[in-house]
Amino acid sequence: MNYKNVAVALLSALAMFGCKSTSMTQTKETKKSYVIYDIQVTDGVTPTQMSSAIKRALQSNTSSVTIVEDLPPYPLPEQAPRFQLTNPFGKNSAMSALAGGIKIPTCEGALIYAQAVDSSMSSYGENTQFYTCLWQYKDGYHVDVYTQFQIESGGLDNLGQDLVRGIMGDSSQFIPRTINSIKTNLEELNVQTKLVTAYPDQLASQLQNTQ
């Protein structure tokens, strides 16, 4: 039996019934998003407590976590900084060309810089990276959460995964859950959080709907 022919026949049959999640073109995608919260703290809440809250949220929702706790800047800035996307290999390096111009967020001056990876679905061609920064400024704190979701789809090799995704969705649907877990853990310290901005626009509504 020619299994590739069977798979092609199955794909064609599914297309006739309106299955929109399958394609014969093998595709690799990277989807990026971010959210920024302003945080007002009460007396007695320390950066170490906030670091612990962020760490526990990431540990509960991802496969690996790395956290760096730094010193507060002096003097404190009037306005909260935000993450910047930089090329880790240098703008004109050979490694940069080989990596396709990849950029990662940097948070110079942040109190806390956490990197986490959700590789639980890597065998299905999915991977999510979280970069979380806690900034202190004159009037409070900011939390920036930047994410990269990578997915492989299409073609015969990914046919099974694509059929399942057509019914269940992919693991990017869990990104708002992880972000809300960070927010909830911080609010348990009796701090007030306010959404400053989110990208893409629908992420803000997704965050509200998953609370």
Residue 57, CA distances (Å) to 14, 60, 177, 201 in order: 39, 5, 10, 23
Q: To the nearest whole percent, how much of the chain has pLDDT over 70?
A: 74
Given a cut of 50, is residue 6 above it in pLDDT?
no
Domain boundaries, the chain: 3-209
pLDDT tens, position by position, 159-193: 666 565 566 667 788 899 999 999 999 999 999 99
Q: Compute the mean pLDDT over every residue in the chain, rounded to the nearest whole number.
A: 81
Quote the percentage of the chain above a pLDDT of 90: 52
Tokens of 19: 């299955």
CA dist., res. 35 & res. 71, Å (int): 23
Tokens for 128?
A: 């999510």
Least confident of 26-30, 32-36, 98-102, 143-147: 98-102
Number of Cβ within a 10 Å radius of residue 153: 22
E strands within 99-187? 104-106, 112-118, 126-137, 140-153
Tens digits of residue pLDDT in 55-103: 999 999 999 999 999 998 899 999 999 999 988 766 655 554 455 557 8
Q: In 3D, which of 79, 80, 129, 132 has the Cα closest to residue 106? A: 132
Buried b (16+ CB within 10 A) or exposed e, 180-196: bbbbebbeebebebeee
Rounded to two decimals, what is the model's pTM?
0.80
CA distances from 68 to 44, 54, 87, 111, 173 (A): 22, 12, 20, 8, 27
